[in-house]
Amino acid sequence: MAAFRDIEEVSQGLLSLLGANRAEAQQRRLLGRHEQVVERLLETQDGAEQQLRQEAGLTRELEELKEIEADLERQEKEVDEDTTVTIPSAVYVAQLYHQISKIEWDYECEPGMIKGIHHGPSVAQPIHLDSTQLSRKFISDYLWSLVDTEW
């Protein structure tokens, strides 16, 4: 019987050790889970901080864009006001030049070229001058020579 008691004591000791080992293993598992949760929380916190930084940056950018939009609207209003005064006077001047010179300009010609048609007293004459080859004085003199001096 003493042997059974010894075996029973050893068994009880082994069971208590196994219980301690299970508690330790469970504690390790819980600690691992805790570390995972903490890791996820830190990742979530980092993500939230990054989103807050992005939101702050986007808010600043939105404010800048609103300022640019307001500036563009102000400039557009100024241009509209200018064109209501400038365009009619420019049209008047262009019509006056056309009536005096009787030259119909080709505004779609390539840069550096001066093209048009002079409607003289007897015949229409094409104008085709290359401003890169001819001096401004020559071009001016030539165009003035086309203007009829008889009123």
What's residue 80's pLDDT? 80
Q: In this predicted structure, what is the pLDDT of residue 43?
A: 93
Residue 52: pLDDT band with limits 50, 70, 90: very high
Q: State the pLDDT at residue 146.
A: 85
How far is residue 103's CA from residue 73's CA, in Å, rounded to a whole number? 39
Q: Is the pLDDT of residue 26 over 90?
A: no
* The pLDDT value given to residue 54: 96
pLDDT at 17: 63
Q: Look at residue 63 in the predicted model and tell me its pLDDT.
A: 96
Measured between alpha carbons, how far is 142 from 151 in angstroms, rounded to an integer? 19
Mean pLDDT, to the nearest integer, of 61-74?
Answer: 96
Q: What share of the chain in percent tops pLDDT 90?
A: 36
Domain residue ranges of the chain, discontinuous segments joined by +:
61-101, 104-151
Q: How far apart are CA 51 and CA 43, in angstroms?
A: 12
Model pLDDT for residues 80-138, shown as the tens digit of each residue: 877 676 667 777 887 888 788 888 888 898 999 999 999 887 888 999 999 999 999 99
Fold of 104-151: Double Stranded RNA Binding Domain (3.30.160)
DSSP bridge partners of 128: 115
Tell me how far the alpha carbon of residue 111 is from its chain's centroid: 31
Question: What values do phi and psi take at 72, rounded to 5?
Answer: -65, -40
**Phi, psi (degrees; rounded to nearest 5) at 106:** -100, 100
pLDDT at 55: 96
- Give pLDDT tens digits for 7-20: 677 777 766 766 66
| Average of per-residue pLDDT values in the chain | 84
